[in-house]
Structure 1
Amino acid sequence: MFSNLEQTFRWYGPADPVTLTTVSQTGATGVVNALHHIPSGEVWSLDEIETRKNIILAAGLTWSVVESVNIHESIKTAGPQRDEYIEKYIATLKNLYKANIKTVCYNFMPVLDWTRTDIDYRLPNGASALRFHAPALAAFDLYILERPAAFDEFSVDQQKAAKAYLDSIDNDAKKTLTKNVMAGLPGTDKVLTIAEFNGHLEKYKEIDAAALKQNLAYFLQAIIPEAELMGIKMCIHPDDPPFPIFGLPRIISTEEDLEFVVGAAPSRSNGLTFCTGSLGAREDNDLPGIVSRLGTHFHFLHLRNVQREADGSFYEANHLGGSTDMYAVMKNIILEQKRRAESGREDVAIPMRPDHGHKLLDDFRYNTFPGYSAIGRLKGLAELRGLEMGIKRSL
């Protein structure tokens, strides 16, 4: 039988309340980590990388995946410093190569790299989940952010639902909504102000999806040849949520978008992070089919589930529950592993991590990053581990 998936756990560094000892006790052997203290766009020195790597090794774990080496906004907007920041990005990749860390996850989402309206949505059993509530997002956009173009983008029914939601909450709830929405900056707990966010939106005023895709292609065509020389596997993460918000384009949301990425710079080094939660928020995404058709390009797996709602809302469900058929997804991943093993590929043990766990039990005692509790993700990892074993034994 071929190798199991490599079980990993995301860790936010020495200040993370979820310690490496805890990670080790989950059964994970790999760590997904990044140097979040280094500003986006700046070079990660070899010394900084080695220092973090040695901390992880001392805990008996491996730094398996970098998530993420963030892309500076000048690259996304084709700003005048774009080529300078691409060179800095390549310099970071070279230092990661010297440290023998060769899988790099990144995303190309404008401004925010994830968006939720509620980071403490209580389920019937008392567990806490992340939620994207479409009327709340519209209410923020229309009546708190007051973005002028928003009224042209939401239907009359959506505007009515947004106003009804706004009228149902008090000022404290409005402040919480604002904080939640503005908290999606890459790799940090910094919360943007309305003025700061409007400043970011202004930079994208003339950039539509087609232009953003061309900017991504420019970036890939610059870095992938360098990554290929070093054997580094780059893997783009889908948009979260996978549809436009605040007038910002989203370009990694569908199977067609994923095909664009791998075609923009054909190479084994130019691959995908398959996130079942991000892609699963769209009903028109056939996740098991995407695995069958594009699985050869997968370098990293984020396995989680969302429960979609009729109005475009969704919340984080149990890993084996929700709207995505995780059995069908896992079975097709295993069939992809089988193809890799039979063809002699070395990357059969694809790194996998449980994503966005619920807060459960003692998780409520710790101020963890939203979605990154210990026990909730341990539960998800245990379920995914069992699902993988059961399917492999049945083949």
Structure 2
Amino acid sequence: MWNSLRNALFLGSIFLLLQTTYAQKNVDSLLEKSTVLIYENPDKAIILAQQAYDYPDVSVKNKVNALLTISTAYSSKRDYNKATEYVERIKSLIPDIKNERQQMNILNRIAGHYQELQIYDKAIDYLDQSLLLIESYPIQDSVQPFLGYNATLRGFIYREQMNCEIALKYFDKAIKAYEKATEPHLRNANLSICYYNKGNCLLTLNKIEEAKTSFLNSIDYAQNAEAKSLIAFGQKGLAEAKTLEGNYNEAIILLNNASQTSENVGDLILNKGLYDGLANNYLALHDWENYTLYHNKFLALQKQTKKAERKSVNQSLINLTESKAEEIDSLHKFYSPIQIFLILFIIIALGMIIRLLISEEKKLKNLQEKLKN
């Protein structure tokens, strides 16, 4: 009887182990697929990541990864309001994360969200926290993608706050880090992003030939990653270089190719840039009909994106204000007893000093009286 019971328990534990392993593989598969689709099909990425999040008994680690994917996908759709909502949920789970590499990733990604909202001081704060963990991690080869992401975001921020010469140093640092990454899609997609932004900075510095090389690298890495939106961004950058050279027809061909490549992506910022580029090149060729067509498309998208971004920034500022108010309230609660103690101490000390002065004055008067007598 005892042997039968023991065998049943053993078989039951094996069954539960297999079931847990199978569930874990399903969750990992959903998260892997959703990560690849973030920029090409963000709506599908959100659905898959939500399925992973809703899986029974999903670990905190996978919950956070699912929320990160959803937040990033909403950011790629320029829906920063929804992205902020998921970032706040991620922040609430940070105390439960024990894995240092995941902590680096979370802090980096939160910084990325604030960078998109142009709340740069908050972004730098999270980047600094992440960098401390990255630099102190014993196995440096395994954290190079996190270092690359951290450097890329600093490049974005310093380009806006300082200048492109400083930003280029960080883009180059990010490129070196991503070249060491072992996961092909991650490496190729991020190198494409770095080279595209490096190209933009080189254009700003009027280094057109170097910029063209950088944009061609961006396109190559994007093609290796099969990332249509990144291919289109690279083509858009190359078209901008052609425009500066006066090659307007070549620029138009590149911009139309980029538009066809990314037609199903739905990136508002990308499309806005493509329409603006087409309008400017048609204007240079005195093609008023096409200029008017694409300029109107650009204005319509600009209005749409500004409205969405304004709403998201307002919500983020509200969240930031509430957070600061909570910090101030917490500090007030902490320091109030200390203030009360200090006030009481000062009152008692003053009382003792006054009493001592009165006592000494009486003694002095008594002494004066004695001297007179």
TM-score calculated relative to the size of structure 2: 0.30
Q: Of Structure 1 and Structure 2, which has the larger fraction of its residues in strand?
A: 1
The structure whose RCO (Cα within 8 Å, separation 6+) is larger is 1
Q: Of Structure 1 and Structure 2, which has the larger fraction of its residues in helix?
A: 2
TM-score calculated relative to the size of structure 1: 0.28
Structure of greater Rg: 2
